[in-house]
Amino acid sequence: MSRFPFLLLACLCGLSACRPETYTPKPRGYFRISFPEHAYRAFSGEGYPYRFEYPMYAEISRDTVFFDEKPENPYWINMTFPALGAQLFLTYKEIRPGQAFEQLTEDAYKMSYFHDIRADYIADHIFHTPHNVHGVFYNVGGNAASNLQFYATDSVRHFLWGALYYNATPNADSLRPINEFIRKDLDHLLETLQWQQPSAN
């Protein structure tokens, strides 16, 4: 009879051990990203109306998509970030009597707020630099196609529009650290941006 309590205890332990394990899903994670160093080099293409410093890890190429339609805009370039799967499109326009400054800024505003449907918010930041450069930087939150956009100008002759896109489906959570990293480099680009006299084409 003295063994009965021990047998009962062993049975209870055995029954409790046979209970099915409760599955707890793991939270969604993202791949760890190894960011390059924030180091810069100068872009001052011959004959271009602007110059600036851009990241060492980026590559610049001339945009040829619209040349057949708009040959008067030979200063459009693409800045590719291969390690981050991103590309910055830079569009330059010269302010002329038939290309009013107010219309260019209005177009820039419309382009940024075009993403309003998918955006959680749009924060605009006005900036000025000592190099006669001012403009607006748009930070578009949420799953928008382009989270970082800006225009820079002198309000007299030069107007530069930039928009960053990714080679992936927009996902605010996974792209947030990349946006924050590239934002620092875009701020540096704008801080070092200077206008120069373009060569005759």
pLDDT of residue 171: 77
Could you give the C-alpha distances from 138 to 43, 84, 124, 126, 168, in angstroms and in order? 23, 20, 4, 9, 20
- CA 96 from centre of chain: 29
pLDDT at residue 186 is higher than 90: yes
Prediction pTM value: 0.75
- Which fold, 46-195? Protein Transport Mog1p; Chain A (3.40.1000)
Q: How confident is the model at residue 72 (pLDDT cuts 50, 70, 90)?
A: low
pLDDT of residue 90: 95
Tell me the mean pLDDT in the region 17-23. 55
The CA distance from 84 to 92, in Å, is: 24
Contact 50, 193 (CB under 8 A): yes
pLDDT of residue 106: 81
pLDDT of residue 143: 80
pLDDT of residue 136: 95
> Residue ranges per domain, the chain?
46-195
pLDDT by residue (tens digit) across 74-97? 899 999 999 999 999 999 998 987
The CA distance from 78 to 163, in Å, is: 10
Contact 101, 152 (CB under 8 A): no
